Amino acid sequence: MTFEEQTVFYKELVDKELDRYMSFPDGLKQGKLFEAMKYSLNAGGKRIRPVLALEFCRICGGEYKNALPAACAIEMMHTFSLIHDDLPCMDNDDMRRGRPSCHKAFDEATALLAGDALEMYPFDVLAGSTSCGVSAENALKMVKMLAWASGHMGMIGGQQIDTEFEGQSPGLDELLKMYRLKTSRLLQAAAGMGCLSAGADGDAVGNALEYADRLGLAFQIVDDILDIYGDEKALGKPIGSDKEKNKYTYVTYAGLEGAKEKAKQLTDEALDFLAKFNNSEFLKKLTIELLNRNK
Amino acid sequence: MTFEEQTVFYKELVDKELDRYMSFPDGLKQGKLFEAMKYSLNAGGKRIRPVLALEFCRICGGEYKNALPAACAIEMMHTFSLIHDDLPCMDNDDMRRGRPSCHKAFDEATALLAGDALEMYPFDVLAGSTSCGVSAENALKMVKMLAWASGHMGMIGGQQIDTEFEGQSPGLDELLKMYRLKTSRLLQAAAGMGCLSAGADGDAVGNALEYADRLGLAFQIVDDILDIYGDEKALGKPIGSDKEKNKYTYVTYAGLEGAKEKAKQLTDEALDFLAKFNNSEFLKKLTIELLNRNK
């Protein structure tokens, strides 16, 4: 399969499996909650995190079905974070990927609860990975990794710092620390859980975590660039929102060229860690594509 | 130990262990998040759910330390639900247990994220229960049970139904279904995880789940009664809030006497399931005390 075919294959695989997880019994009174969960999960995301989980599993010698629970779990967790991030008390964003955000399409209470539900479901899904050939020990390691990456010492911690930085001017080190928590951690969980799904050893998991750490930083810096210099139509949301919210970003410090250079350097570091794996051509292409993306 | 001594012993044990889980490194930028988590977790709750977990573990032949992770996990999950329930887009309650609710003591964004973090942390804690003598298989069963009980098919589903019932007049069956999700499920997870912590078999877990199902319904109906006929000082919050919000409760349908009768009947059913366990005197007393509580 070519890179493009492989990407489509993974995306369709994950979408189908997510649909299965989102098949709820009819006639339950919380139907609106289910609709809101599905609405946000099917908003046309790039599915980067699931692809990372599936491909790291493959290059660690697993079959893709081993990592399907991890792939779906990480996408649910990512979607939860977007729903709560968009809420009025957070970023107050009305649009997400070219459609009304969850609390606009439904209401605030439903969006809050849909986010809560999509934060919880991943652990149910991961606990079920033993029926996909993952050992109980490794399933439990995935539970621990996902909770760590997403919680108060990870993504949620990063979101707290992000809200406190608003209107302030944190140092560059502080900014990168926040990016690590807010963006790298979930990518790390995706890559790390992919390895664990295949039963890989600690060295492989460690290299995957280092890779995804750099990938996340590069990803966030490219986001910063696109928020100023991107194309609104391609992005599906208005540009300039960081500036409007007085947010200091990497571009504020380093300018466009400095930011591009840093993203390139981080991508190179990511590729170095990738080189420690066999058969990592697909991930290499993906990494470079993420650096050069326009949305 | 007397019932009172045992209760104090359990409560102190859990409080101490929760403090340990809430010991965060100094100097991190998400310090306000940590403070909000601790503020709500230390708001002086009755710790009923942790006590259930610890005592079911004991009567199933385990040591209390086996169930300490489950006990702390369930209290965190319960606290998460209170924080999000109090938010302006939900019940909009300014007070909780005689103190400002989390979003009043901090701010809405911090309360949202503190709730999110306290929803996540339990899974990290449960994954660590293997270092307290719990097998990986049983730890994973606890993860699954907690996610089920708390998620879209459990407590969060119940909260969604609760918001949709506001100003409406659901049937009595619908109301009890909602109570099961909103209130019984977490008590069921507490009792069930207690059994699993001790390595108990499926029959014991099943009986514990049936017991806690009835306990939860009785608990919620007593709550309904206290919201009308309770003592504001003892409760630490104003009474009459259900009526103010046009909420139909069990008392609306059955009146004070009917509600009292139903709570008594459910308590009797709970006691029948309890009788299937040896050494259940403590839980028997606890169950009757919850029926007769004034706060």
Share of chain B above pLDDT 90, in %: 86
Tell me what ipTM this predicted complex has: 0.97
CB contact under 8 Å between A120 and B147, yes or no, is yes
**Where are the extended beta strands (E) located within A165-245?**
none
Residue B44 lies in a domain: yes
* Residue A295: per-residue pLDDT: 82
Domain of residue B60: give its range.
3-279
Q: Minimal Cα–Cα distance from B284 to chain A, Å?
A: 32
Residue B222 lies in a domain: yes
Residue B287 lies in a domain: no
Which phi-psi region, left, alpha or beta, contains residue B23 (left: φ > 0; alpha: ψ -120 to 50)? beta
Tell me the mean pLDDT in the region B161-167. Answer: 89
Number of domains in chain B: 1
Neighboring chain B residues of A33 at a CB cutoff of 8 Å: 152, 156-157, 160
Residue B293 lies in a domain: no
CB contact under 8 Å between A28 and B157, yes or no, is yes
Q: Which of B115, B116, B113, B143 is nearest to B128 (CA)?
A: B143
Residue A87 is part of a domain; what is its CATH number? 1.10.600.10
Neighboring chain A residues of B136 at a CB cutoff of 8 Å: 135-137, 139-140
Q: Minimal Cα–Cα distance from A61 to chain B, Å?
A: 24
pLDDT per residue as tens digits for the range B189-226:
999 999 999 999 999 999 999 999 999 999 999 999 99
CA distance B31 to B20: 16
CA distance A155 to B219: 36
CB A102 within 8 A of CB A250: no
Tell me the mean pLDDT in the region B116-129. Answer: 98
CA distance B124 to A123: 10
Neighboring chain A residues of B116 at a CB cutoff of 8 Å: 84, 115-116, 119, 156
Higher-scoring residue by pLDDT: B231, B268: B268
Q: Which residues of chain A have pLDDT under 70?
A: none
If you measure CA to CA, which chain A residue comes closest to B91? A109
CB A123 within 8 A of CB A143: yes
Please report which confidence band the pLDDT of residue B235 belongs to, taking 50, 70 and 90 as the band edges.
Answer: confident
Please report which confidence band the pLDDT of residue B231 belongs to, taking 50, 70 and 90 as the band edges.
Answer: confident
Please report which confidence band the pLDDT of residue B294 belongs to, taking 50, 70 and 90 as the band edges.
Answer: confident
Q: Which of A60, A86, A59, A48 is nearest to A216 (CA)?
A: A48
Tell me the mean pLDDT in the region B52-70. Answer: 98
Residue B139 lies in a domain: yes
Residue B286 lies in a domain: no
